[in-house]
Structure 1
Amino acid sequence: MNTRATNDNAAPIALPADWNALDLRTLFDKLARVDAEALVTRALDEDLSSVGDLTSNACIAADTQGRATIHSRGDGVIAGLRVAEIVAQRAQLSITTHLDDGARVSRGTRIATIEGSLRALLAHERTMLNFLTLLSGNATLAAQFVDAVRGTKAQITDTRKTVPGLRTLQKYTTRCAGATLHRIGLFDAVLLKDNHLAAFSSGTLVERVRLAALRARSGNHVAFVQCEVDSLEQLDALLTLERGVLDMILLDNMNVELLTEAVKRRDARAAHVLLEASGGVRLDTVRRIAECGVDRISVGAITHSAPALDLGLDLDPEHGHEPNSHNDSQRASS
């Protein structure tokens, strides 16, 4: 079985035939849970160290119980509830989620209720909100791109332009938004770029791609083989490859006229090869790109430039606090 090692202490994760075929819960468990557990450990260590929450411990009796609600302060798509559950479990808190990852929310939507030790609740709220606001922000921006191309054949895909250490979680969020996962990393698919092809000592573009595909597939799980081109001449050459060598061609930084022509040539010569548009894709341009007839559009911004979704955590005043006496959000300076 082909596997991906996550870290020195974690069991390897089996690679499925297609990550995109999994439902969200299964995807999280197979792709992101091991990383999420490790990230929660690190996040809590950097916040609490070996001492704990000095402020809460100084103000709140150890046996005081509390209840709080997480709600949305804006429109967006929720992602990260599975991580919030891990944080709650570490804190021995009870968490009830009122919706699931991938749900669309608006201002005031209740997302989850948390109960247990008030000290533990306050000590873990920032870690919980940090994960939820970041990942929900990724999902929200991804959903905007998905919505923008709705009705076309194009799928929005993510990239490897992720926050270091958050790769699997951020890719999980793109699926929560309805986007398609590209390769998870360098280990599960082949994407040939100009620097790779230049490493060959000789041979035409077609010969180099054919040889690279053959070597990669020899004894490895390879989800797909893809090659980047930046001209129609390169595209024409690759479309002569026999079926089974090349699965996709990435059209790098082509304008809509070139993209339209590329689709026309692909359709006439090698309809089985998928075309992916990439490079500088924005919300105000993605619809026009999709209408050119490409199959996929990769967007780095959905993981590297998404603003956080504003979420709040409010304590229930029935547990000894005045209404809104504690109010936390991504904008807070805690």
Structure 2
Amino acid sequence: MLENHQDFAQQTRDEFLRDDLEQLVRLAIREDLSRGFDLTTISVVPEGLTAQAAIVAREPGIASGVELIPWIIETIGADIPVQLHRRDGEKFTVGDPLATLRGEARDVLTCERTILNFLGRLCGIASWTKEHVDVISGLKAQLYDTRKTTPGWRRLEKYAVACGGGRNHRSGLYDAILIKDNHLACHQSVTGKLLSPSEAIAHARQFLAEQVDAPAGAIVEIEVDTLEQLADALQSNPDIVLLDNMTNDQLSEAVRIRDQQNASVQLEASGGVRLETLRGIAETGVDRISVGALTHSAVNLDLGLDWTL
């Protein structure tokens, strides 16, 4: 069980995030330059011209990706010193500068769109997450993301969720067990036996115990869609039970059953959660609410580059 506040790891600025970022930046630059060069800049902008440009907010939000700008520029291979005016996770308002770039104008122009694209996406997710976090402020429930992320961007998007004050759910299929109905159906198709939730949990824990290379302390979670399944699952001490697409009345009853039967198990509400329904779900007493929209429905934040030659 989630002893000593054990939880899924929060995404930080680690070596894995940097590796993903570098691969995405190389792809982004290849999209812009292919195997050639910036035709407009080279043809119009004189060589050796020095420029200063500030990344400025066109709307309020939460910073995310600002501290990644030096990594982006280094991957591109440009010589552009950067001064950061905001740290990731900090608020900003309209007109606030997030960072200032100084260097040869040709380099800044070539890097401009790539930097703004990354920051706009990440600040958009962080800001959208903060809106959700504020809605449930003061309640027990914590807000979690999901694996509904842009392919290749998962670590970056989860980092942005963390910047916005949200919590990260499992990173992938490798670091936790989450048993869903499709897994049970596949097991039944081969063995002829449909595992009950409690049997499935016991099966998963036995598997982890037998794997010498299994992640230490891997969380075991199971999805249920009825209160009867919940009561059965609680018998086998899962770390988390995911309550799929339940009404608020069902969620409240699920909390009562959990408190009575196995108070140490965490309950996670999931499925079609919207900003306007979030507070009501949190008021049922669940511990966690996972929201795919944090990443799959966030809109890029409007940022611009204000130039001084």
TM-score by length of 1: 0.85
1:175 aligns with 2:162: yes
Q: Secondary structure at the match of 1:107?
A: coil
- Return the match for 1:50 from 19, 35, 54: 35
1:156 aligns with 2:143: yes
Alignment of 1:74-85 (within 5 A): 74-85=59-70
Aligned to 2:3: none
Residue 239 of structure 1 contacts residue 270 of structure 1 at CA under 8 Å; is this kept in 2? Answer: yes
TM-superposed CA distance for 1:265, in Å, is: 0.6
**Which residue identity does 1:29 align to in structure 2?**
D
Aligned to 1:144: 131
TM-superposed CA distance for 1:87, in Å, is: 2.4
Aligned to 1:332: none
State the alpha-carbon separation in 1 of the partners of residues 263 and 45 from structure 2.
Answer: 67
CA RMSD of aligned residues (A): 1.5
- Return the match for 2:247 from 251, 255, 265: 255
Residue 77 of structure 1 contacts residue 103 of structure 1 at CA under 8 Å; is this kept in 2? Answer: yes
Aligned to 1:300: 292
State the alpha-carbon separation in 2 of the partners of residues 68 and 208 from structure 1.
Answer: 57
Residue 194 of structure 1 contacts residue 228 of structure 1 at CA under 8 Å; is this kept in 2? Answer: yes
- CA deviation map 1:60-82 (0-9, x unaligned): 11111100001101111111123
Aligned to 1:113: 100
Aligned to 2:9: 19
Aligned to 1:39: 24
Residue 240 of structure 2 contacts residue 268 of structure 2 at CA under 8 Å; is this kept in 1? Answer: yes
TM-superposed CA distance for 1:98, in Å, is: 0.4
**Which residue identity does 2:154 align to in structure 1?**
R
- The alignment covers a number of residue pairs equal to 294
- Return the match for 1:227 from 218, 222, 228: 222
Aligned to 1:87: 72
State the alpha-carbon separation in 2 of the partners of residues 216 and 160 from structure 1.
Answer: 22
Aligned to 1:12: none
TM-superposed CA distance for 1:46, in Å, is: 1.3
**Which residue identity does 1:236 align to in structure 2?**
A
State the alpha-carbon separation in 2 of the partners of residues 223 and 143 from structure 1.
Answer: 28
TM-superposed CA distance for 1:212, in Å, is: 2.1
State the alpha-carbon separation in 1 of the partners of residues 170 and 9 from structure 2.
Answer: 9
TM-superposed CA distance for 1:30, in Å, is: 4.0
TM-superposed CA distance for 1:50, in Å, is: 2.5
State the alpha-carbon separation in 1 of the partners of residues 235 and 15 from structure 2.
Answer: 37
- CA deviation map 1:84-131 (0-9, x unaligned): 222223211111110111111111111000000100000110000000
State the alpha-carbon separation in 2 of the partners of residues 87 and 248 from structure 1.
Answer: 37
Q: Secondary structure at the match of 2:88?
A: coil
Higher helix share: 2
TM-superposed CA distance for 1:45, in Å, is: 1.4
Residue 134 of structure 1 contacts residue 307 of structure 1 at CA under 8 Å; is this kept in 2? Answer: yes
- CA deviation map 1:133-170 (0-9, x unaligned): 01110111111111111100111000000000101100
Q: Percent identity?
A: 44
Give 5+ residue unaligned stretches, structure 1: 1-15, 320-334
Aligned to 1:62: 47
State the alpha-carbon separation in 2 of the partners of residues 82 and 160 from structure 1.
Answer: 24
Residue 243 of structure 2 contacts residue 269 of structure 2 at CA under 8 Å; is this kept in 1? Answer: yes
- Return the match for 2:13 from 8, 28, 32: 28
Residue 18 of structure 2 contacts residue 71 of structure 2 at CA under 8 Å; is this kept in 1? Answer: no
TM-score by length of 2: 0.92
State the alpha-carbon separation in 1 of the partners of residues 201 and 151 from structure 2.
Answer: 30
TM-superposed CA distance for 1:197, in Å, is: 1.3
TM-superposed CA distance for 1:204, in Å, is: 3.2
Aligned to 2:205: 213
Q: Secondary structure at the match of 1:240?
A: helix
Give 5+ residue unaligned stretches, structure 2: 1-5
